[in-house]
Amino acid sequence: MTRPPLPAGFLQRIHGQLDAVGAVALARALAAAPAAGLRANPRHGPPEALAARLGWRASAVPWCHEGVVLEGPPGARGEAGRHPWHDGGAYYLQDPSAMGVVPLLDPHPGEAILDLAAAPGGKATHVEGRLRGRGVVWAHDATPARADALVSNLERWGATNAVVSQGDPRRLLGLVGRFDRVLVDAPCSGEGMFRKSDAARVRWSPERVRACSLMQATLLDHAADLVRPGGVLVYATCTFAPEEDEGAVAALLARRPDLELVDLDARGLRPVGTLPGDGPVGAGCVRWWPHRAVGDGHFAARLRRGEADATAVRDPGARGRQGVAGGRHGDGRPTPAAGPEAAAWRSFAEAVLGADPLPGHALLADDGHLLAVPPEALALAAPWRRAGVALGRVAVGRRGQRRFTPHHALSRVLPARGAAAARVDLELGDPRVAAFLRGEAIAVDALEGWGLVRAEGVPLGWVKASRGEANNHYPRGLRRDPARPPADADDEVA
Ligand code: SAM
């Protein structure tokens, strides 16, 4: 099938933006097939080892130690999207240039990180992996359906230290000045998606570039308020339009004297290149050009907020507000789990898991549902959709006994190897792996009651077994449909 051509207005602009050789090379690169990037979940080991265990040839992504590019036939990408370990969250399929943004943000364990435009979760899962179980990534998105995808991808990833919220960023007003690092991976005109997405080619127009830059300015103003004095703000797009990139950064700096650019060269952080002749702003910016580096193309800038506290002027009283994390959609608030609910969870954890997998997390109850919330999230008071790990539901039986049903998300946070006491360990080649992912009951030998299904160490989900047969508790929305096309990449155009 013929693809829509690159937009004429875009081609005209890049001929003004780059020299003749560069513009031709960029247009040619955008006609090439996308690279198959794979970012490993640190819970499942380094990416080279992961690719080797799966029998895929891979080369390192120089700016991201969790990333590799799969080599070999074009089919390798589809295979990676269909593999049971993809369903198990052992890796995330992500464009290699998109993997450069989180290393620039440089999150550290124990920190509070905000990802203000987070769906479907490429960067949020990357941040979560780098927190190593300490701290919190607060992942926000404006759109309800995309926020659902974000919850689902964070669950697949086995995130233990994430909170998801949705709506206008003004909903986060209570968190002004509270984040150590804030990422704005902004909605943009998506020129870097021209390889993957025909829709991005068709949608592009100079008006869209202008509309995006207005939206980006609003988001950046919110982000600048939300980062703490002395904290870091990273701005990223997957477009090449200077108005949305260096121009957006220059305009932000003009509006916000409390922000300054970090010189990336001086910190050895600029892996690829920038725009020729882009002036002083360029020192704090990096561009991954598809004709100069592997990947579809990305832009990022790193800024630092001065230590002087400007929030007092913008939102008096916002700093210092504390409380239990806000509650679903701002209505009912979760409370610390009561004795009987906590006891039902503990007896499940002891009998089925061997031990509480999240002993440092707070146990909260929300209308019969138990959540394990990272302590760092407890001080952040704003409405959320999901906080921490959904452990399961406690129901009261006819005789008043409490029954615990585990949530799918809990299966994903269990250690990849070792400790789940009750489990069904399958070889990757065992036909029961595919049957489980299709939602079918599977035969088991020595399991009665709840158990975790794993494919060579990677947790897939729950079954409940009785007399040799295990009922499938893999969520319906995730079950494999043979007619479903394989995931090409977990990232997609916004
Ligand atoms: N960071 C994501 C990732 O790595 O998977 C990709 C983000 S995508 C480029 C931009 C996101 O911004 C979209 O999911 C879109 O729904 C969201 N968005 C658009 N307008 C927004 C707003 N005003 N506030 C927050 N998010 C917004």
| Active-site hit among 64, 188, 212, 238 | 238
The number of domains in the chain is 3
* pLDDT, tens digit, 9 for 90 and up, residues 469-482: 999 999 999 999 87
Residues 448, 388 share a domain: no
pLDDT score for 242: 94
Q: Is the pTM of this model over 0.85?
A: yes
User: In this model, does residue 302 exceed pLDDT 90?
Assistant: yes
Determine, yes or no, domain membership for 53: no
Atom of ligand 1 nearest to the CA of 185: 1
Q: Is the CB of 494 under 6 A from ligand 1?
A: yes
Choice between 396 and 311, residue whose per-residue pLDDT is larger? 396
Determine, yes or no, domain membership for 173: yes
Cα–Cα distance between 89 and 156 in angstroms, integer? 5
Other C-beta atoms lying within 10 Å of the C-beta of residue 461: 23
Q: Is the CB of 137 under 6 A from ligand 1?
A: no
Residues 435, 406 share a domain: no
User: In this model, does residue 185 exceed pLDDT 70?
Assistant: yes
Q: What is the DSSP letter of 428?
A: T
Q: Is the CB of 167 under 6 A from ligand 1?
A: no
Residues 399, 429 share a domain: no
Cα–Cα distance between 374 and 356 in angstroms, integer? 14
Boundary-marking domain end, from 391, 413, 435: 413
Instruction: With H, G, I as helix, E, B as strand and everything else as coil, classify residue 334.
Output: coil
User: In this model, does residue 263 exceed pLDDT 90?
Assistant: no
Residues 479, 333 share a domain: no
Instruction: With H, G, I as helix, E, B as strand and everything else as coil, classify residue 265.
Output: coil
* pLDDT, tens digit, 9 for 90 and up, residues 413-452: 997 655 667 889 999 999 999 999 999 999 999 899 999 9
For the segment 150-166, the average pLDDT, to the nearest whole number, is 97
Residues 431, 379 share a domain: no
Choice between 314 and 336, residue whose per-residue pLDDT is larger? 336
Determine, yes or no, domain membership for 363: yes
User: In this model, does residue 45 exceed pLDDT 90?
Assistant: yes
Which regions of 62-135 does DSSP assign to beta strands (E)? Answer: 64-70, 91-93, 112-115
Atom of ligand 1 nearest to the CA of 183: 1
Residues 192, 250 share a domain: yes
pLDDT score for 484: 67
Residues 406, 459 share a domain: no
User: In this model, does residue 329 exceed pLDDT 60?
Assistant: no
Q: If you measure from the C-alpha of residue 243 to the centroid of ligand 1, how many angstroms do you get, rounded to a whole number?
A: 18
In DSSP terms, 22 is beta-bridged to: none
Ligand 1 atom 20: residue of nearest CA = 142
Residues 405, 266 share a domain: no
Determine, yes or no, domain membership for 108: yes
pLDDT score for 330: 42
Confidence of residue 265 (pLDDT cuts 50, 70, 90): confident
Q: If you measure from the C-alpha of residue 446 to the centroid of ligand 1, how many angstroms do you get, rounded to a whole number?
A: 46
Determine, yes or no, domain membership for 392: yes
Rg of the Cα atoms in the chain: 23
Report the Cα 56 to chain-centroid distance in Å: 24
Q: Is the CB of 117 under 6 A from ligand 1?
A: yes
The residues, any chain, with a CB within 8 Å of residue 293's CB and separated by 6 or more, are: 96, 97, 271, 272, 273
For the segment 402-410, the average pLDDT, to the nearest whole number, is 95
User: In this model, does residue 488 exceed pLDDT 80?
Assistant: no
Decide if 100 contacts 300 (C-beta within 8 A): yes
Cα–Cα distance between 21 and 28 in angstroms, integer? 11
For the segment 344-358, the average pLDDT, to the nearest whole number, is 92
Tokens of 237: 């797009």
Average pLDDT, the chain: 90
Share of the chain above pLDDT 90, in %: 77
Cα–Cα distance between 27 and 82 in angstroms, integer? 31
Q: If you measure from the C-alpha of residue 151 to the centroid of ligand 1, how many angstroms do you get, rounded to a whole number?
A: 14
* pLDDT, tens digit, 9 for 90 and up, residues 218-238: 999 999 999 999 999 999 999
pLDDT score for 381: 86
Of 221, 174, 222, the residue nearest 318 (C-alpha) = 174
User: In this model, does residue 377 exceed pLDDT 70?
Assistant: yes
Q: Rounded to 5 degrees, what angle do the CA atoms 131, 97, 16 make?
A: 140
Cα–Cα distance between 353 and 366 in angstroms, integer? 22
Residue-number span of the structural domain to which 338 is assigned: 327-413
pLDDT score for 349: 93
Instruction: With H, G, I as helix, E, B as strand and everything else as coil, classify residue 83.
Output: coil
Determine, yes or no, domain membership for 237: yes
Q: Which DSSP string do the residues of 338-389 spell out, in sequence order?
A: PHHHHHHHHHHIIIIISS-S-TTSEEEEETTEEEEE-HHHHT--S-BSEESE
What residue type is assigned to position 375 of the chain?
P
Confidence of residue 38 (pLDDT cuts 50, 70, 90): very high
Determine, yes or no, domain membership for 42: no
Q: If you measure from the C-alpha of residue 140 to the centroid of ligand 1, how many angstroms do you get, rounded to a whole number?
A: 8
Residues 263, 161 share a domain: yes
Q: If you measure from the C-alpha of residue 122 to the centroid of ligand 1, how many angstroms do you get, rounded to a whole number?
A: 11
Cα–Cα distance between 67 and 58 in angstroms, integer? 10
pLDDT score for 335: 87
Q: Rounded to 5 degrees, what angle do the CA atoms 46, 131, 85 make?
A: 40
Boundary-marking domain end, from 396, 413, 430: 413
pLDDT score for 419: 61
Residues 271, 149 share a domain: yes
Q: Return the residue matching tokens 């959540």.
A: 371
Residues 253, 173 share a domain: yes
pLDDT score for 318: 40
Number of H helices, E strands in the chain: 16, 23
Decide if 384 contacts 409 (C-beta within 8 A): no
Q: Is the CB of 121 under 6 A from ligand 1?
A: yes
User: In this model, does residue 91 exceed pLDDT 70?
Assistant: yes
Decide if 117 contacts 138 (C-beta within 8 A): no
Boundary-marking domain end, from 352, 381, 413: 413
Active-site residue flag, 238? yes
Q: Is the CB of 142 under 6 A from ligand 1?
A: yes
Other C-beta atoms lying within 10 Å of the C-beta of residue 191: 27
Cα–Cα distance between 424 and 439 in angstroms, integer? 15
User: In this model, does residue 177 exceed pLDDT 90?
Assistant: yes
Determine, yes or no, domain membership for 149: yes
Residue 334: CATH number of its domain? 3.10.450.220
Residues 404, 258 share a domain: no
Cα–Cα distance between 8 and 11 in angstroms, integer? 5
Residue 428: CATH number of its domain? 2.30.130.60
pLDDT score for 489: 65
Of 133, 125, 134, 120, the residue nearest 99 (C-alpha) = 125
Choice between 87 and 329, residue whose per-residue pLDDT is larger? 87
Q: Is the CB of 193 under 6 A from ligand 1?
A: no
Decide if 231 contacts 305 (C-beta within 8 A): yes
Share of the chain above pLDDT 70, in %: 88
* pLDDT, tens digit, 9 for 90 and up, residues 239-251: 999 999 999 999 9
Alpha helices in 371-469 (DSSP H): 375-378, 408-413, 431-437
